[in-house]
Structure formats: structure tokens, C-alpha cells
Amino acid sequence: MRILFVGDVVGKTGRTAITDHLPGMIRDWSLDLVIVNGENSAGGFGITEAIYQELLDAGADAITLGNHAWNQKEALVFIERAPRLIRPLNFPRHSPGRGSALIDTKNGKRALVINAIGRVFMEPSSNDPFAAIERELEACPLREGADAIVLDFHAEATSEKQGIGFFCDGRVSLVVGTHTHVPTADHQVLSGGTAYMSDAGMTGDYDSVIGMQKEEPLQRFLTGIPSGRFEPAAGVATLSGIAVETDDATGLAVKIAPVRAGGRLEPAVPAFWT
């Protein structure tokens, strides 16, 4: 199975990068499953129903969220009728929506997509991600319940992300980190066969501070005093993500490569598909 995971889409420029690049990637690389993190897609904070549909129309099969899941209040309602929108699994128990979903892939198989959120340096409103993920994997094991399993772990600390990666090794096709908006260079296939990357990076304008116009973050760093709102940077975005190919017999990864297209970052494509 050929899987593309796209990192946090930030604002309008990030959405434009999705519509500009994703359909061609799906066609040219014969992608079977596309997952997009959309938690910053509405003005940098949250997601709306119209944007959810926009990302699906561009070719996403599932959309994951994170700590900004509820910044657009309509998400609290429309997530119940959005079966491919996945919020963190370990949110408090009465949170609306779902933390995982079985997705029909483009090649007729089934993939389990899980979203979980970290607790290190994050808001203390989530439950233990390790226990929540363990329950999910026991309920739907790789190859028995799903042909592939992808975990988007939305977290700040690379140590926590790496811990989750090793915790899932051999049981998940891909563990990919989101939230920090900077692509890491540690993409690898772990010893048990799970593809791993600490952060996929953002799909946004990299002439920015993690996707936001530079002036306000700099003002706060220099003075400690807010002077306005954070606004998404409006330059040309780079689509950032990770590509993985799995073994149909095991559901585990055999190849992994970073993906970057457009904008300021150096392009990167999965050479094993071209």
C-alpha cells in the first residue's frame, strides 16, 4: 500500500498547496491512502465543515486534528456527521467525534487511522496516550482488523513521540508526529517494521514562525507583551509530509521518504515511486 501523510495545513496558503499539489501526487504516485492533518486549516486555528469538505475533494481520505480541534466551535457539532474527521483518541471521554476510523482505501483495502495527543509540554486535558492507543490496537490488530494502521501523534516533545514510536513498533504501519510544524530528518523504518518520523512538518508558508506572520511572535518573544492576534503567513506554502510503502502481506513498512513540494523548502519526492 502506498501512503502519504501530509503535515499540519496552516491557513489559506496551506489549503492552496493541498489543492495545487495533492491531486497530481495521487495520480502520479498511485497513492492508496492520503491522510492530512487539518487542525490549523481555518485561519491557523481549527477546521470548519467547508474546509473539511475542501480537503476531501482534493483527495484526502482522512483528516486528523490536534490541540486546536475545537477552536472553530462548529467543529463540536459537524464532527458527528464527518466520519473521516478524527480528533485525538485520548481527549476527555465525553468529547464529540471519534479518535480513530476504519477508512476504505483507494485500492479497496481498509486502513485504521488513529489520532492521539501528547501530554509532555501540552495542555493537561488529555488522558494517557499509551493506554488509549493500546486499547485501540487490541481492538483492531494489524492484518486481522486492518490492512494498514497509521497513527498521527500530535505532541510537543520528541522524546514522547519516539516513545510512542517504539511502543507501536511492529504493530503499526506508520507513526508520524505533528504539532511542531518543523519537518524532522529522522524518518526511518524501526526494527519491528513500523515507519517513523518525529514531525512531518507543516503545509504552510515557511517564511514565518511556525506558519504565523513573524511580527507578533517576535514582539511577544522580545517584550512578553501581546500586541495583536497571530495571523497565518500568506506567502506560497510548502506541502510537507511523509510517504510510506507497506508490505501487503504484513502491513508493515518497507520504504519511507520525506515529501516537500512548492514554497521555500528544498523539494523532496519519494524516489522509489518515480
8 labeled binding residue = yes
Sign of torsion over alpha carbons 237, 241, 243, 246: negative
Of 21, 68, 94, 187, which one is the catalytic site residue?
A: 68
54 labeled binding residue = no
39 labeled binding residue = yes
Q: H or E stretch including 91? A: none
Q: H or E stretch including 57? A: helix 49-57
> Is 187 a residue of the active site?
no
Cell numbers found for residue 35: 491522510
Partners of 158 in the β-ladder: none
Cell numbers found for residue 97: 467525534
21 labeled binding residue = no
Those residues with Cβ within 8 angstroms of residue 75's Cβ, 6 or more apart along the chain or in another chain = 46, 47, 48, 49, 65, 69, 85
Sign of torsion over alpha carbons 213, 215, 221, 226: negative
In angstroms, rounded to a whole number, what is the distance separating the alpha carbons of residues 9 and 18? 8
187 labeled binding residue = no
Per-residue CA distances from 208 to 74, 155, 181, 234 (Å): 28, 20, 11, 9
Contact predicate 148/1, CB 8 Å: yes
* DSSP states along 171-228: T-SEEEEESS-S--S--EE-TTS-EEES----BB-SSSBTTB-SHHHHHHHHHS---S
Residues marked as binding? Answer: 8, 39-40, 67, 154, 179, 181
Known binding residues for Fe cation are: 8, 39-40, 67, 154, 179, 181
Q: Which residues are part of the catalytic machinery? A: 68
